[in-house]
Amino acid sequence: MEEKIKKVEGLVAEYKKFDGDLKKLAQSQETYFAQLNENKMVKEELDLLEDDAEIFKSVGPVLVKMELSDAKASVKQRIDRFNTELDKVQESMKDTAAKQDKRRQEIQTYQQELQQQQQQAAQAAVAQG
């Protein structure tokens, strides 16, 4: 029975680790969503501009002139990168949630077995008593 108790404690520790991992992944997902939305808004603004519009990019304390086509390509590239990262984070969240669910089921199984053993031990003690 001690072995099962230690096994349950180990499974609970893993479950808690997965919970922490899920929280970190959710924070990453939130950050990527914010960055993606910001870049989508920039793309929408760039799409409204005329082809001969002057575009400036902030590089440190300096504004550097940029071609509209370069700005659009840069924003598109960032949007693609954020979408890729979001897909990775969501896949990791799905995998981690599945692992956590498996641990939860294992914990429940071991707890049920422990309860049955305790009940059997109590019945045996009553029968002997």
Instruction: Identify the DSSP state of 56.
Output: E
Angle between helices 68-128 and 2-48 (to 10 degrees): 160
CA dihedral 42, 45, 47, 50 (to 10 degrees): -130
CB atoms within 10 A of CB 118: 11
Total residues belonging to the chain: 129
Query: According to the model, what pLDDT value does residue 5 have?
Result: 85
pLDDT tens digits, residue range 68-123? 999 999 999 999 999 999 999 999 999 999 999 999 999 999 899 888 988 888 88
Q: Would you say residue 18 has pLDDT above 90? A: yes
Query: According to the model, what pLDDT value does residue 68 have?
Result: 95
Query: According to the model, what pLDDT value does residue 55 have?
Result: 93
Query: According to the model, what pLDDT value does residue 22 have?
Result: 97
- What percentage of the chain exceeds 70 in pLDDT? 99
Q: Which of 1-5, 7-11, 52-56, 92-96 has the lowest mean pLDDT?
A: 1-5
Q: Would you say residue 125 has pLDDT above 90? A: no
CB atoms within 10 A of CB 33: 13
- Local confidence band at 129 (pLDDT 50, 70, 90 cut-offs): low
pTM of the model: 0.79
Instruction: Identify the DSSP state of 64.
Output: E
